[in-house]
Structure 1
Amino acid sequence: MEMSELTALLTPDGLRLLDEVGTISSTGEVAQAVSRLRGAGHSPDLVSAVVGQAHLRAKGAAKFGGFAERMLFTRAGLEQATRLGVAARHAGRMRRAGIERVADLGCGIGGDALAFAGAGIAVSAVDADEVTAAIAAYNLAPFGGDAQVRQGTAESFDVAKVDAVWLDPARRTAGHSETRRVVASDYSPSLDWAFSLAERMPVGIKLGPAHDRDALPADAEAQWVSADGSVVELVLWSGILARGGVRRSALVIRGDESHELTAGADAEDADVRKLGAFLHEPDGAVIRARLIGDAARSLDAGMLDPKIAYLTGDAAVTSPFVQSFRVREVTAANPKAINTMLRANDIGTLEIKKRGMDVDPAAFRKKLHLRGAASATLILTRVGDRRMAILADRV
C-alpha cells in the first residue's frame, strides 16, 4: 500500500466504503469489486486501497479471527505478523513477570502490540516504515493513550521509559507487498544490538524457527512455538522474562489449548529400538528445541533411527508433543510392494507422510492404486540404508 492509497482510505467516506464492501475472498471477487467501484466514480487510489484491504481482511481472519474485520494490513505486514493466539501468550508472560510498560520495537501492523494492550500493559510501538506505523496506529487506536505508536528505528527509542522490550527484527527486505528474506547479519535492528539489549533488561526477541542454534545467547531461554502443527517462531527471553533453569522450551498450541515441554539444555537422545507396535512423530517445536529424547522417554519409546525424528515403542500411550500411529504392516518402500499391501488392507483413502527419504508424496501418490473402502496412513522412512513403508492408523 502506498501512502496516497492510505491517505484516501483514512477518511470517513473511505472507511465507510471499506465497511460496505466487506471482505473479499477470491481474485475473481477482487476484479468485480474494482470494476464496480470504479464505475461508481471512486478514485483509483481509494478503489485500490479499499479492495486491497477487503481482500487482506479475509486472509487476516486466519491469524486474527474476528478482529481482522476492523483492522488494516499491508500484504507483507500480514505475512510477518504474529498470530493473535500466540501473541496473547507473549503478553501473558509479560503480565506474569509484572511488566507494566513494554516497547514493541519493529511493531509491524501491531499484532503483538494488540495483545500487550489487551492484557492491560501500556505499549509504545515503533516501526521504521511510515505506512506500516500509520496502520499500526489505526489498529491500536481503540486502546487510546495506553497504546502509542510512532515512526522511528528501534535503536532510537529510549528504553529507559519501559520495563521490557519486545523485538521482532526485520528478516525481510523493506516493502509492503513482495519482499525477500535476508541473512541474519542483515536483520534490522541487528542481532548484536538486540542481544546486547537483552543482557541489560528484560527482552523478548522473535526470530525464525530455523535460526542458527549456535548463534543463540547461552544465557537466554529459547522457546520454539508451534501452532496447529506448524512451527511459527523462536522467541528468546531474557531477564525476568526468562524462567529459572529453563534454556530449551517447546510450546505446542492446538486450537485454544497449549502444552509445553521444558528443559535446562538439549535433551539426551533416546536409545534406538526396532519398530514396535506404535510409531510417534514429534511436533516440529519439539524437534527444533532438541527435546526429542525427553518426549521419547515420556512415552517409553526409542528412536527408530538415530538421525530421523520418528519414535517407536510398544506402550499404548501418546502425548500432546507427538502424533501417534498404531502400526498395521510394514513392507519395502516401492510402489509394487506398497500396492500389494494397500490392496490386502482394502485401502482407498491414504495419508502419506515421510522422513529421511527424498520422495514427493504428491508424485508418489500417483503410483498407488487406491480403490478400497478403508483409510490409513502410509509412513515412508528408513532405518540405516533400509527404506521401509509403514501402514498405520492414527491414534
Structure 2
Amino acid sequence: MTLDELHSLFDPQVLALIDAHAGDDPAAFALRFHGRSDLPVRAIAEQIACRKKAAVKLPSLSRFPLLYTRLALEQASGERAAEWKASLMQGRRAIDLTGGLGIDTLFLARRFEHVVSCERSEALARLAEANRRVMGIANVETRIGDSEEILADYADDSFDWVLVDPARREHGGRSAGLQQSSPDVVRLHDLMLRKAAKVCIKASPALEISGLETQLPALSAIIAVSVDGECKEVLLLLDRAHVAGQTPKVRAVCLGKETFEIVSSGSEPPDRAVAETPGAWLYEPDAAIIKARLTGKLARQMQLEFLNRTVDYLTSADRVEPFPGRSFRIEECRPFRQKSFRKELAELEITNAAVQRRDFPLSVEELRKRYKIGESSERFLFFTKDASGDLIWLSCRKA
C-alpha cells in the first residue's frame, strides 16, 4: 500500500464505503466500481478482504474499524498468541523492532508505560499509528527507519524488553534459519542485550530448536506456542543474566479452549516406553508438544506408551482425558501388506478417510492414489510401524 492510498482511506466517505460493503465479495466490489477514478477501488477491495480474515485472526480487535494490508495481516501474530506472548513481558519501557501491522505492539502497550514501535515502511507505520488512534492507545511512540540503527542510538539499558519478529522471507521464499532472517538476530544478540536485560525473539514454527544456544549464548528459554492445535511460533527468550553454556528450558504452550503447558526439567530420560501392541486408544499430541520434543514427558505424565521408538503416536488401553491433542478410538489395527491392503479396505467398506503417516515408506498422496482413498472427516487411517518396526495401519474414529 502506498502513502497516497493510505491517505485516501482516511477519508470519512471512503471509510463509510468500506463499512457498507464489508460483507461483499472483494472481487465483485472491485468489478462493480471499476473505473471510478474518484475512489481508491483497489485499496477498498483490499480492506474488505482483510476484514474478513481479521475477523478470524483478530476476533476482538477486528471489532474496531482498523486498516490492514494483505501481507502485514498475513505476517502479524494472531490475537491469542500475541496476548499470551505479551504476558511474558512487563516493565516500564519496551521496544518492538519489527512493528509491522502493530498487533504485538498493541498488547505490549497494555503491559508497559511506554513502547517504541520501529517500522521501515512509512506507509505501514502510519497505518499502525492510525489503528492505535482508533483504539485510544496513546503510550506508543512510532520510529520509522532501520530498526538496528534506531536501537543503536538509544543508551544502554533504555528498555526492559526488546521484542523482535524478524522477517523470514528470502528471495521470494521463506527461510526458518535465524541468520537468514531480517534483522539478523544472531548478529544483533549483543546489541539487543545492551539496550535491554531481556529479549523475546518470535521465530518460525519451522525453526530447528536444537543447538540454538551456540548461536544465542544468552538463550534462557525456548517456547513452542500453538493455537487450536497448530504450532504458530517458537519464542526464544534471551536473558542477560543467563549463564552461558547452561541448557535453556524448553516449554510447550497449547492455547485452545483451555491452556495446557508442559516444561522440560532438563533431565528427562531418553528412553521411551513402547507398547507391545496398540491399545484401544491412539493419541496425537498437540503440535507445540511435538515441536518442543516433550512427547516423552507427556507420555510419562499421563502414563501412556508409544506405538514405536521413532514417532509421536501414543496409545493406551483406557481413554485418558483431557488430552492435549487429538484422541482416537482404534477400530482396526493390522499389518500393512501392499498386496492385500486393497482387499482389506473393501472388506471393511472403507472408501473415504483422513490419511496420516509417520515413519512410513509411502506418502499420503501415494496411499490415496494407489488405493483410491477419498477424503473424510469421520474416519482416520494411520500408517506407521509397531514396536518391532513392522509396517501397520490403523482405522480410527475421532473421540
Q: TM-score range by the shorter chain?
A: 0.7 to 0.9
Q: Which amino acid aligns with 1:273?
A: A
Partner of 1:250: 252
Q: Which amino acid aligns with 2:320?
A: V
| Kept after mapping to 2: 8 A contact 1:106/1:127 | yes
| Kept after mapping to 2: 8 A contact 1:136/1:149 | no
Q: 1:295 to 1:144 in 2, by over 3 A?
A: closer
2:138 to 141, 145, 170: 145
More deviation in 190-199 or 1-10? 190-199
| Alpha-carbon distance in 1 for matches of 2:9, 2:247 | 50
| Alpha-carbon distance in 2 for matches of 1:197, 1:212 | 24
The alpha carbon displacement at 1:335 in A equals 6.7
Q: Deviations over 1:213-272 (max 9, x none)?
A: 212436411000111111110001233999x997000001114x2110012337433233
| Alpha-carbon distance in 1 for matches of 2:5, 2:389 | 58
Partner of 2:263: 262
Q: 1:39 to 1:191 in 2, by over 3 A?
A: closer
Q: Does 1:76 align with 2:79?
A: no
1:189 to 172, 183, 186: 183
Partner of 2:228: 228
The alpha carbon displacement at 1:330 in A equals 1.4
Q: 1:21 to 1:265 in 2, by over 3 A?
A: same
| Kept after mapping to 1: 8 A contact 2:224/2:234 | yes
| Alpha-carbon distance in 2 for matches of 1:79, 1:313 | 39
Partner of 1:125: 117
Q: Deviations over 1:41-75 (max 9, x none)?
A: 534xx111111111111122221015235222222
TM-score, normalised on structure 2?
Answer: 0.83
1:108 to 79, 100, 125: 100
Q: Which amino acid aligns with 1:90?
A: K
Structure 2: runs of 5+ lacking an equivalent: none
Q: Which amino acid aligns with 1:169?
A: P
1:166 to 147, 163, 168: 163
Q: Which amino acid aligns with 1:165?
A: V
The alpha carbon displacement at 1:344 in A equals 5.0
Partner of 1:386: 390
TM-score, normalised on structure 1?
Answer: 0.84
| Kept after mapping to 2: 8 A contact 1:224/1:231 | yes
| Alpha-carbon distance in 2 for matches of 1:172, 1:151 | 21
Give the structure with the larger helix fraction. 1
Structure 1: runs of 5+ lacking an equivalent: none
Q: 1:173 to 1:361 in 2, by over 3 A?
A: closer
| Kept after mapping to 1: 8 A contact 2:205/2:231 | yes
Aligned residue pair count: 379
Tell me the secondary structure at the aligned position of residue 33 of structure 2: helix
Q: Deviations over 1:67-91 (max 9, x none)?
A: 2352222222111111111111112
| Alpha-carbon distance in 1 for matches of 2:32, 2:106 | 34
